[in-house]
Amino acid sequence: MANLIEMRGIVKRFGPVKALDGVDLRLEPGKILSLCGENGSGKSTLMKVLCGIYPHGDYEGQILFEGEEVKARTIKDTEKLGIAIIHQELTLIKELSILENIFLGAEISTKGLMDFPAMHKRTAELLKRVKLDVSPQTKVGDLGVGQQQLVEIAKALSKKARVLVLDEPSAPLTESETAILLDLVQELRASGVSCIYISHKLGEVKHISDDICVIRDGVHIATKPASTMTTDDIITMMVGREMKQLFPREDHDIGEVILKVGPINAWDISNPRMKKVVNASFELRKGEILGVSGLVGSGRTELMECIYGCYRGNHEGGVELNGRPLKLASAREALVQGIAMVPEDRKRNGIVPIMSVGQNITLAYLNEFANYGMLSMAKETNAIKQSIASLRVKTPGPELAIRNLSGGNQQKAILARFLLSTPDVLILDEPTRGIDVGAKYEIYRLMFQLVKKGISIIMVSSELPEVLGISDRVLVMHEGVIKGDLPNENLTQEIIMDCALSEGTAQ
């Protein structure tokens, strides 16, 4: 069958660095091709080349669409051909309605006046096609992340997209939302829309792909039918070495209770009548890894923010660390008392993008390098060097702006920030979201190093295999309630899901 898209020998340089080194990619019509690779392997760069974000001439190699060479200058040129990219970060405007978002920049109008009935009808059709049962007038900000993604897809379809590029669409989604998304992608395939699917979740990749293309360090490793590969094969190809074990569990001692939480109650920020956390209380022992599982919106992030003192809505309840009651007033006080938190949303709450990797690392404990407010650059540089080495942050140098690093390395730098001092309790909210297998593995190993030093870790995660693979004990949250506090012995994903969704509370 003729290829819909063929990319031949794509080379893309950033200064002296080759981000892509002769990558080939072929997409047949009506197929789903998954693109796998570690963070920084060049997947996103390849897609930016395909979509014209890097204009023709900025890279070497050839792109053919239905056999004809494409020389796109802008993303508009590729949109005309029917290639639509849906970015990791959604680009919808939250204050506008679904309808207005879908037709943004392409409004149906007569002589400058918007034709709302026509747009309404068309939007309703599109929403039906993506199986989103809401009114076209709904404000996008009122939708969940999963629903917003469906709106993005509807928007792409409104532009008569023939190829959808989905860049890690499932990263912020719950399992049920992911299932809806995967069904939709498969249905679109049946109706002739091809798809390039980028994801770190190899289960999904296996499930929906016709073909899988693996790239590593900017080099095309292989493209094979999905049916001929196991997830282990994919991982081996991605990292270039065999991963014996995804979760490097290590034995460690667990001591006395050091943190007593709650009972904590918290209310929603925008809707003060809605309770987000209901009478939540738990204990944490020294050197323990406590996994907190639950769907997105189960109140786990709010609970963690209450403990760290940075929750913005109304909340009440206390935290006792080493027998001392703490006020829940600000992140600053929490850090001083020995509680640190690596936030969930790296981009919004973690990195200061224009500052250097080094300055990002020292941000939280800057006083350690200062006398009377004056910084000792030598002391600081030295600490940065050690941090970068011990957490294996891959960066050309500490002076580089952190936004230039891959997600996994940004995450390691943020971890480094909170490990410059030794906290008693480290809260990790989705520490491995959107980062690749190799970096995940390193972060797990680091977590075990930390608990061996006597630091206690609370890890919030949506990924059940991760929770089961790492935790000593698991808290299950659902709709603001801690439904279960289970030692991680013979636990299975089913038990956790049952616990979350069953009536009453299991202990």
Partner 1 sequence: MSEQQATSKSADGANQDLLEKLKPMNLQVLVMLFAIIIIMVFFYFMTDGSYLTTRNVSNLFRQTAITGILAIGMVFVIISGEIDLSVGSMMGLLGGVAAILDVWVGLPLSLTIVFTLAAGLILGFWNGWWVAYRKVPSFIVTLAGMLAFRGILIGLTDGTTVAPTSNAMSIIGQSYLPDMFSMVLAVGVLAAYMIWQQRVRGQNTQYGIQNEAQGMAFTKYAVIAVFSLGIVLLLNDYRGVPTPVLILTALMLIGTFVATKTTFGRRVYAIGGNVEASRLSGIDVEKTKLRVYTMHGLLVGVAALILSSRLGAGSPSAGNMAELDAIAACVIGGASLAGGVGTVVGAVIGAFIMASLDNGMSMMNVPTFWQYVVKGGILLLAVWMDSATKRRA
Which residues here bind partner 1, judged by CB under 8 A? 308, 310, 330-332, 334-336, 341, 343, 348-355, 359, 363-364, 366-367, 370, 373-379, 381-382, 385, 396-397, 399-400, 417
CA distance 43 to 409: 16
Residues 6+ apart with CB under 8 A from 80: none
User: For residue 418, what are its two tokens?
Assistant: 């909170």
Instruction: Report yes or no: 334 and 323 within 8 Å, Cβ to Cβ.
Output: no
Closest distance between partner 1 and the C-beta of residue 391, in Å? 17
Compute CA 354 distance to the chain's CA centroid, rounded to the nearest angstrom: 21
Closest distance between partner 1 and the C-beta of residue 341, in Å? 7
Closest distance between partner 1 and the C-beta of residue 129, in Å? 36
Residue closer to partner 1, measured from CB, 231 or 381: 381
CA distance 117 to 325: 59
DSSP output for 89-138: S----TTSBHHHHHTTTS--EETTEE-HHHHHHHHHHHHHHTT--S-TTS
Q: How many other C-beta atoms can be found within 10 angstroms of the C-beta atom of residue 35?
A: 27
CA distance 92 to 104: 9
Instruction: Report yes or no: 264 and 315 within 8 Å, Cβ to Cβ.
Output: yes
Residue closer to partner 1, measured from CB, 11 or 363: 363
Helix axes 407-419 and 437-452, enclosed angle (nearest 10): 10
Residue closer to partner 1, measured from CB, 226 or 355: 355
Residue closer to partner 1, measured from CB, 282 or 369: 369
Closest distance between partner 1 and the C-beta of residue 62, in Å? 25
CA distance 13 to 463: 35
Residue closer to partner 1, measured from CB, 25 or 384: 384
Closest distance between partner 1 and the C-beta of residue 280, in Å? 21
Closest distance between partner 1 and the C-beta of residue 207, in Å? 36
Residue closer to partner 1, measured from CB, 136 or 408: 408
- Identity (one letter) of the amino acid at 295? L
Residue closer to partner 1, measured from CB, 291 or 343: 343
Closest distance between partner 1 and the C-beta of residue 110, in Å? 35
Residue closer to partner 1, measured from CB, 222 or 400: 400
DSSP output for 197-252: EE-S-HHHHHHH-SEEEEEETTEEEEEEEGGG--HHHHHHHHHSS--S-SS-----
Closest distance between partner 1 and the C-beta of residue 209, in Å? 36
Instruction: Report yes or no: 267 and 313 within 8 Å, Cβ to Cβ.
Output: yes
Closest distance between partner 1 and the C-beta of residue 24, in Å? 29
How many residues would you count in the chain? 507
DSSP output for 348-363: III--TTSBHHHHHHS
Residue closer to partner 1, measured from CB, 352 or 506: 352
Tokens 């963690």: give the residue: 304
Residue closer to partner 1, measured from CB, 281 or 381: 381
